[in-house]
Amino acid sequence: MKRGLFFSAAWVMFFISVCCFSANGFASETGIKGDINGDGKIGLEGVIYALRINSGISDKYAEWLSSLDFSKAYVVPSESQVDKVTLGGILSLEDNKFYTTDFTLRDAQNLNILEMRAESSDEETLEQNLRNSVWKGTYDIYDKSYTTILNLIVVQDGYVGGEVIHEEQADNTGFLRARVTGDILNQYQIDGVFTDEDRIESDVLAELPADTPTRQLLRIKRVRAFEFVNSSDGNRWSTNREYRMTLEGNTLTGIVGIPADTYGSSDGTSENGDINLTLSK
């Protein structure tokens, strides 16, 4: 899997400033102006398309470059270097595949597209689809029900980071908006029990049949709260809660509970509530 991180502020400023500087210099010559793919937006796709014409990129990429979605793109620092930047997670709307693309800085501050590679691994595709996704549903515990929104902002190399919002349905007094962080991992069904991939011995994992039932589990914890209002009945929001949710198609279902106090202890949780979310966008 290609390693990468989401755009840092520095990378964003570098990449956009170089693109815009280059595009402005030859926009009048190429005739590329604004919204080139009819999506109602004027963004990086227009700049990249103009760069293609200016740099003389092969015609075999022309259709691919005319309709790109950069909403899940990220810089790949391990492959970027002086005068070269590699972007992963670029979605082609022509074939609905994700690509990693190399750009190099040429003379006159123009960016040239060197190569585009399809990201074909199932794990990479899964993470790309989860990145910047929004999930909506409910969190129920005891006699309370909370309208819930989960935004998965960062999903990369097994790491997950985002934001969760809970709002009490009954009287709208209880409210929480907090950062969440954790991981996504594969589970394999062995002897009728789904087990985390990293808890299976390597020799056992290597010998598992290809048709072994597999699923993905998200394990994320609350960290810093941005906003919170405690319920009118005196119940307070706890910082010590872990969300364990199984991904099945367009749903996330599982529990929200208190994890063990120490590593090496039982992996169970206590004071569990139920959470059920559906992909919104």
pTM, full prediction: 0.66
Q: What angle separates helix 44-55 from helix 9-30, to the nearest 10 degrees?
A: 60
- Say what the pLDDT of residue 26 is: 35
- Say what the pLDDT of residue 66 is: 61
Check if the beta carbon of residue 49 is closer than 8 Å to that of residue 32: yes
Q: How many residues does the chain have?
A: 281
- Say what the pLDDT of residue 3 is: 39
- Say what the pLDDT of residue 117 is: 81
Taking residue 208's Cβ as centre, other Cβ atoms within 10 Å add up to 13
Pairing of strands 84-92, 175-190: unpaired
Cα separation, 23 vs 161, whole angstroms: 33
- Say what the pLDDT of residue 108 is: 64
- Say what the pLDDT of residue 277 is: 96
For the chain (281 residues), the mean pLDDT of every run of 10, in chain order, is: 40 44 38 43 47 45 66 82 84 81 75 75 81 93 90 89 90 86 92 88 89 92 91 82 92 91 76 92 80
Domain ranges of the chain: 9-120, 128-279
Closest CA to 268 of 281, 250, 253, 255: 255
Cα separation, 271 vs 194, whole angstroms: 22
